[in-house]
Amino acid sequence: MRVELYNLLTRRTVLKGGAAAAALGVAGAAGVLPKSANADLRAELLKIPGVNMGSPTDADWQKVGELCMGSTKATVQQGEFKGVELTFMGLNNQNLHNLLFRGFLKPWEAYTGAKINWIDLAQADYNPRLQQAIATGTVDFDIVEMGAPFEGDVCGKGLASVMPDWVKQQIEMDDYVGYLKAPVGTWEGKTYRISIDGDCHNFNYRTDYFSDQELAAAWKAEGHQGEWGVPKTWQQVQEVTKFLKGKQVAGQDAYGYLDPIKPWGGFGFYFLGSRATAYAKHPDDKAWLFDADTMKPRINNPAWVRAIQDVIDALPYEPADQLNADPNTTGFSQFLAGTGAMCSWWGDVGSNAKTNDSSVIGDVCGFSILPGSDDVYNSKTGKWDKLASGPNYAPNMAYIGWGIYVMARVDSDSKKQKAAWSAAAHLGGKDISLWTAAYPSGFQPYRNSHFNVPEWVAAGYDEAFIKSYLDSEGNSYNHPNAAIEPRIPGIFQYYSVAEDELNKIWSGGSDAQTGADRIAAAWEKITDEIGRDKQIALYKASLGM
Amino acid sequence: MPSRAALSALSEAAAVTAGVSLRRVQDGKRIITLATIGFVVVVLMQILFDAGLQPYGFENWRPILYAYVLWGIALGFGLVRMRGAAGHRALFVLPAVLFTVAMVIFPTFFGLYIAFTDWNLSSFEGRRFSGLKNLYALFADPYYRNALANMVFYVLMVLPQYAIAFGLALLLNADIRARKFFRVAFLLPFMLSPVAVSWMIGKSLMEYRFGPVAKLMREIGWDNPAFFTSPWIAKFSIAVMDAWVWIPFIMIMLLAGLQALPKELSEAAKVDGASKWQAFWQITFPLMLPVSVTAIVLRIIFQLKLADIVINVTSGGPGGATDTVSSFIFREYRDRSNVGYGTMLAEFYLIIIIIFITLLLHWVSRWMRKMH
């Protein structure tokens, strides 16, 4: 690819009699130049605006977009898409996503001549807008920022454009971490998705809490087992959470684990999932949310009920307003702002800890994969197993990350199709992804090349911090017992119904088992409404079974 | 009973009397008849095409909208031809009627049809007629019943709002300093969007960690001023925010009523030695009853639609304690893409509201008659 690009560039440059210096600049950005030039580009990217230099601005995003134009310039001639208008649908929450894309794509628009119109959606509005467009045949966008869970709705119904080979080469798909490779992003053997994110929930904790000598002494004095330290299992998380109630750290009330309780358009369910995977995802069974052969829900099996009960038990020890705290409040207004010792979240907590203006925990934040469990429920035998290898770990690959998809409606116009894929490839390029992984963007590391610690250290990150963060991400992605989310149609309907029932449980309206049974009944109804046989087939396909 | 032909002849005679020639009347009739036949044929063709019963039709329903507009124009033109000056007068009303039919009446009846279908947006099979299934599900739905029960609470909260608003209206009607300023100031909350109020008050002033109201509560001895975590406190917190937005509405209506009262009556009461309380209770309050009833009924109608503050601040929680029917429908439709069931919930609620308001108006008018 790189040699081809080089040939293309030099031939064009010579033929057109362009300035050699310009060609070199372009080639350098495309990664054609010797490795050191590309390394310089990546180093330069990581310094925009620089670690501990405050939140990046639109000017920074445009600068990043401009620096990463090399690969586009190698495949698209200047002004080639003049007159083409594309509509891009994506999120606008937390001031990121579409706002970021606007900045990244400004140089692309200036170079190619295409114009992009934007449809901005809040996270909670995303699912209904997409579903309505699909169901009513009114897809009014050419490019969409979408999570893998929606692939069943979009790709399964033939609404997406198949990725051309040149795009695969331009974005260097081989660099993706293992779990983002096929079958994720593919449907019936065809590739549709440009990954721009690699979601999983990791475990974020406060290092100052777990190195506090007074707490260590109190831990011993109260007769707890083992040394005071970061919990490795959910059983320990519960114990630590209860222990911290009523204590103080740095003059402030101490709290243990933070559960995001308030419904969040279905996305809040992931947080119960993160508590449940260690109990429910058995290493010998790929399925963990439904029985793969029947779509019978597992939400009311002993593993999930134990996770629900854990939340019920922990809530009295969490901040008093936890019942009205959604995931955003928990991750950003509480944990990053200094409340609580532990929380599960997507990688955003890590990428914001040192680069977000409102974070106060940049120097005291540590990371690991999600806690495990001393035993794991075996759905096939109906018994709890203790593994010979020790606690069962099962990182929750919640949402499987955002991707960029091009809609099939552009396929009838080759110029528009190329423009759409070029814009998508620009956003999903290898170098630009390094920046999005390192700065507040809503996206976390998802390529093998993101796990190069010295690159981050050179950018100004503290080595211990960044190693801890990257290990928590990489070890989650590569974990052999990772819990992969089902990419089945209507998955957020299941989650949303569950949120309502869980909310009732958390506020004391029903016990864990009764509530879980109600969720299971509602899920069965949804499966029948959507079509059980197709859901079974898609669920199996999504798990690679 | 006169025959149809005789009636037609009569109407033609009336038109001729109104100065319109018989030929114009017949032209107008032809235009309207042809346009109506054309419109009906196009709609039927599209319905049959959509059902897969014949091969010719439009890709989507937009051309039917254009056909409706054309039919409306032809109708207007035909009426002018037929009725002359009376037809011109009808043109003032016709666009509003056609718009209401298109935007209110048709969607309501089409919604009724949707309510009897099984339509999950993720379903591979699309929309399917499901008879009374959604209705049975509605009666068995504990979340819907819970939301209806909450609505009783929210509607009852209109009475304290009315009492406060009356007090404020009396105050602003009195000779106080800076009266004009206070009138504008008290109206400000009503000018704000409830969504803005949700953020300014629910998510900022009442925020547990940094909210000034929460801090004040701590100062006066409430250790954990969490306004939205226990069911009844959350319910009252929502009611307070809602009251803050809507009290000015009731207040301004009552103030207008107070200003329209003849001053002679209160002056006569004063001369007769009535105390302030007697003057209010025996004279002002009864005279204000018509305005009060209008304000309360209007306020109840608005209250039955309460959703925005709940959606933004609590999402119906904790455990459904603050849920309203509208916020529940919003979740059912938006988060779960359950269009058929969501529409059934909305249509059923509409019928409940119509019955409730009709009964309320009937009861109020009987009571008012009795009072007078």
Chain-chain contact of B337 with A131 (C-beta, under 8 angstroms): yes
> Pick the residue with more confidence: A264 or A407?
A407
Statement: residue A285 has pLDDT above 90: yes
Q: In this structure, which long-range contacts are made by residues B106-111, counting pairs with CB atoms below 8 Å and at least 24 apart in sequence? A: B108/B347, B108/B350, B111/B343, B111/B346, B111/B347
Residues 6+ apart with CB under 8 A from A478: A177, A178, A179
Interface of B with A (CB under 8 A): 60, 118, 120-126, 143, 208-209, 224, 226, 228-229, 231, 234, 313-321, 331, 333-339
CA-nearest of A392, A394, A418 to A406 is A418
> What SS3 class is residue B369?
helix
Q: Which residues pair with A233 in a beta bridge?
A: A372
Percent of chain B with pLDDT over 90: 63
Q: What is the pLDDT of residue A29?
A: 40
Chain-chain contact of A507 with B123 (C-beta, under 8 angstroms): no
Point out the residue among A137, A508, A530 whose CB comes nearest to the CB of B122.
Answer: A530
Nearest CA-CA distance, residue A387 and chain B, Å: 37
Statement: residue A24 has pLDDT above 50: no
Statement: residue A54 has pLDDT above 80: no
User: In a 10 Å sphere around its CB, with 0-12 CB exposed, 13-18 middle and 19+ buried, how is residue A464 labelled?
Assistant: exposed
- Using an 8 Å Cβ cutoff, are A304 and A219 in contact? no
Q: What is the pLDDT of residue A175?
A: 94
DSSP string, B258-293: HHHS-HHHHHHHHHTT--HHHHIIIIIHHHHHHHHH
Chain segment A180-192, per-residue pLDDT in tens: 888 888 888 899 9
| Assigned token pair, A315 | 């809530």
Collect all residues of chain A within an 8 Å Cβ-Cβ radius of residue B316.
263, 500, 503
- The single residue listed with the structure tokens 């134009």 is A69
Statement: residue A402 has pLDDT above 60: yes
Statement: residue B182 has pLDDT above 60: yes
Statement: residue A16 has pLDDT above 60: no
| pLDDT (average), residues B266-277 | 87
- Using an 8 Å Cβ cutoff, are A247 and A230 in contact? no
Q: What is the pLDDT of residue A25?
A: 39
> What SS3 class is residue B301?
helix
| pLDDT (average), residues B33-40 | 96
Chain segment B284-315, per-residue pLDDT in tens: 999 999 999 999 999 999 999 999 999 999 99
| Interface contact A293, partner B, CB < 8 A | no
Q: What is the pLDDT of residue B337?
A: 85
Chain-chain contact of B208 with A530 (C-beta, under 8 angstroms): no
Treating both helix axes as pointing N-terminal to C-terminal, what angle do A512-530 and A532-542 enclose, rounded to 10 degrees?
A: 110
Read off the pLDDT band of B372 (50, 70, 90).
low
Read off the pLDDT band of A1 (50, 70, 90).
very low
| Interface contact A503, partner B, CB < 8 A | yes
Chain segment B343-364, per-residue pLDDT in tens: 999 999 999 999 999 999 999 8
- Using an 8 Å Cβ cutoff, are A355 and A466 in contact? no
Q: What is the pLDDT of residue A95?
A: 58
Chain-chain contact of B226 with A135 (C-beta, under 8 angstroms): no
Provide the residue type at A375 as one letter.
Answer: D
Statement: residue A116 has pLDDT above 50: yes
Q: Is the peptide bond before A149 cis (omega within 30 degrees of 0)?
A: no
Mean pLDDT, rounded, of chain B: 90
Statement: residue A535 has pLDDT above 50: yes
Statement: residue A450 has pLDDT above 70: yes
Q: How many CB atoms lie within 10 A of CB B330?
A: 20
Q: Where in chain A is the domain with CATH 3.40.190.10?
A: 2-195+402-442, 202-284+298-398+478-486
| pLDDT (average), residues A122-143 | 84
- CA closest to B128 among chain A residues: A529
| pLDDT (average), residues A430-438 | 92
Q: What is the pLDDT of residue A332?
A: 92
Point out the residue among A125, A337, A529 whose CB comes nearest to the CB of B123.
Answer: A529
Nearest CA-CA distance, residue B63 and chain A, Å: 15
Chain segment B200-214, per-residue pLDDT in tens: 999 899 988 889 999
d(CA B218, CA B9): 83
Treating both helix axes as pointing N-terminal to C-terminal, what angle do A491-506 and A269-280 enclose, rounded to 10 degrees?
A: 90
Chain segment B148-173, per-residue pLDDT in tens: 999 999 999 999 999 999 999 999 99
| Assigned token pair, B125 | 């099979």
For the domain bounded by A2-195+402-442, which CATH number is listed? Answer: 3.40.190.10
CA-nearest of A440, A253, A268, A274 to A338 is A253
Read off the pLDDT band of B16 (50, 70, 90).
low
**Strand positions, DSSP E, A123-280:** 143-147, 186-187, 190-191, 193-195, 202-206, 248-249, 252-253
| pLDDT (average), residues B233-240 | 96
Q: How many CB atoms lie within 10 A of CB B225?
A: 21
Q: Could you report the predicted ipTM of this complex, rounded to two decimals?
A: 0.79
Residues 6+ apart with CB under 8 A from A107: A62, A65, A66, A69
Read off the pLDDT band of A461 (50, 70, 90).
confident
- Using an 8 Å Cβ cutoff, are A359 and A353 in contact? yes
> What SS3 class is residue A483?
strand
Phi then psi for residue A290, to 5 deg, are -135, 160
Statement: residue A38 has pLDDT above 80: no
> Which of A107-111, A285-289, B125-129 is the least confident region?
B125-129
- CATH, domain A202-284+298-398+478-486, list 3.40.190.10, 3.40.50.1820, 3.40.50.300, 3.10.105.10: 3.40.190.10
Chain-chain contact of B335 with A530 (C-beta, under 8 angstroms): no
